[in-house]
């Protein structure tokens, strides 16, 4: 369950947590067209530091653009609003959830007359795939559900409706005794996980499927690509087949919520938890806390 915090920002105002309510006939609840983000703030000596906040708000705008959804607030306004919510919470670290959705007033599939509403909430949220996901690894299952085709649902948009597919895959994996699912695209190649991008090491270098594979363009994916290269590892975007997973030298999944989590196995084929993944995961933990000089600008202090 979510632990409530002080305030939620709704359409320009900070409102008490319990009063951040919407009508049952809110358009997006019925038809799934909303766009959202998942962001983390980490404790730093200067106060809560929100990791790549501006980049997340840019992606929120891009998601809205893909969906043809008007956005009533500029990126810098959303950045300031997020800082206000985190400051009001008094929390040293937290998870942050901005969402833009079509509100109450219109029904039916024509969204042209709809009005976009925006809310930003934050609350405490621990490691998504477990505290020891980096060192012990997670058990993955290739899902029977495919990742969205580009011409059915736009996978590059972080739109609420896309997550029906992710939830189906996640629950299928959990019910089968695994921790997380890997989604293949309709062409049968590896795309990503239900809430994380994936990196697979083959012949000494990491490959990660790009946007064209149907994966979300992950901000953590971009962060760990930079970190891995700084550490001297080779990383490239690439096409991965299911077999690449089974004979991986190392593999990890990453996302804002999951951070860097090692892959311990895929479909019960064990994968070594390797030194490259551990080094990248440890450097990521320092980077998000503003402890790595070259990436200090990514930490946006409240
Ligand atoms: N893929 C999906 C489907 C996701 O939901 C997420 C989490 N937003 C990611 C990848 C990772 O993205 P990010 O690193 O920007 O959190």
pLDDT per residue over 119-143, tens digit each?
999 999 988 888 899 999 999 999 9
3-class secondary-structure state, position 163 = helix
User: Token digits for 43?
Assistant: 């404790």
Q: Using the predicted structure, report yes or no on whether residue 19 has a pLDDT greater than 90.
A: yes
**37: CA distance to ligand 1 center in Å?**
9
Pocket (CB within 6 angstroms of ligand 1): 38, 166, 192, 195-197, 216, 218-221, 255-256
SS3 label, residue 10: strand
Phi, then psi, of 76 in degrees rounded to 5: -70, -30
If you average pLDDT over residues 190-214, what whole number do you get?
98
Average pLDDT, the chain: 97
| Terminal-to-terminal C-alpha distance of the chain | 26
Q: What's the maximum distance between 2 C-alpha atoms anywhere in the chain?
A: 56
Coil, strand or helix: which one is 99?
Answer: strand
Residue 126's pLDDT is what?
A: 87
Rounded Cα–Cα distance for residues 271 and 201 (Å)? 10
The residue whose CB lies within 8 Å of the most ligand 1 atoms, and thus the one to mutate among 34, 35, 36, 38, is 38
pLDDT given at position 275: 97
Chain centroid offset of residue 294 CA: 23
144-181 residue pLDDT tens: 999 999 999 999 999 999 999 999 999 999 999 999 99
Nearest to 286 by CA among 295, 277, 297, 273: 295
**C-alpha 208 to ligand 1 mean position (Å):** 13
> Ligand 1, residues 55, 95, 197: which to mutate, most atoms within 8 A of Cβ?
197
Q: How many CB atoms lie within 10 A of CB 295?
A: 20
Residue 284 has pLDDT above 90, yes or no: yes
Which residues are known to be catalytic?
Answer: 158
Domains and CATH numbers, the chain: 7-123 (3.30.470.10), 138-288 (3.20.10.10)
- Taking 90 as the threshold, does the pLDDT of residue 222 lie above it? yes
Query: pTM to 2 decimals?
Result: 0.97
pLDDT of residue 183: 98
Atom of ligand 1 lying closest to residue 220 CA: 14
CA 105 / ligand 1 centre spacing (Å): 31
If you take atom 2 of ligand 1, which residue's CA is the nearest one? Answer: 195
Return the bridge partners of 102, or none.
Answer: 116
């Amino acid at each position: 369950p979510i632990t409530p915090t002080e305030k939620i920002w709704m359409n320009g105002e900070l409102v008490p947590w319990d009063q951040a309510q919407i009508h049952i006939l809110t358009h997006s609840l019925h038809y799934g067209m909303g766009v959202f983000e998942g962001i983390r703030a980490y404790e730093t000596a200067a106060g809560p530091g929100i990791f790549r906040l501006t980049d997340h708000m840019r992606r929120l705008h891009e998601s809205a653009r893909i969906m043809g959804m008007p956005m009533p607030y500029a990126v810098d306004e959303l950045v300031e609003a997020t800082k206000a919510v985190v400051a009001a919470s008094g929390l040293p670290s937290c998870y942050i959830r901005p969402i833009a959705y079509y509100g109450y007033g219109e029904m039916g599939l024509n969204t042209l007359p709809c009005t976009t509403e925006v809310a930003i909430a934050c609350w405490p949220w621990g490691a998504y795939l477990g505290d020891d996901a980096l060192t012990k690894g997670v058990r993955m299952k290739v899902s029977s559900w495919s990742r969205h085709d580009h011409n059915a649902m736009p996978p590059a948009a972080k739109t609420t409706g896309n997550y029906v597919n992710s939830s189906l895959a996640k629950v299928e994996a959990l019910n089968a005794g695994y921790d997380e699912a890997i989604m293949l695209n309709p062409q049968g190649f590896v795309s990503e996980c239900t809430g994380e991008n994936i990196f697979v090491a083959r012949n000494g270098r990491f490959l990660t499927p790009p946007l064209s594979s149907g994966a979300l363009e992950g901000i953590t994916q971009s962060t760990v690509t930079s970190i891995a290269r700084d550490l001297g590892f080779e990383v490239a975007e690439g096409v991965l087949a299911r077999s690449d997973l089974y004979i991986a030298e190392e593999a990890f999944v990453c996302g804002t919520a999951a951070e860097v989590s090692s892959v311990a196995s895929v479909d019960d084929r064990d994968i070594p938890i390797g030194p490259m993944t551990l080094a990248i995961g440890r450097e990521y933990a320092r980077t998000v806390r503003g402890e790595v000089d070259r990436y200090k600008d990514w930490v946006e202090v409240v």
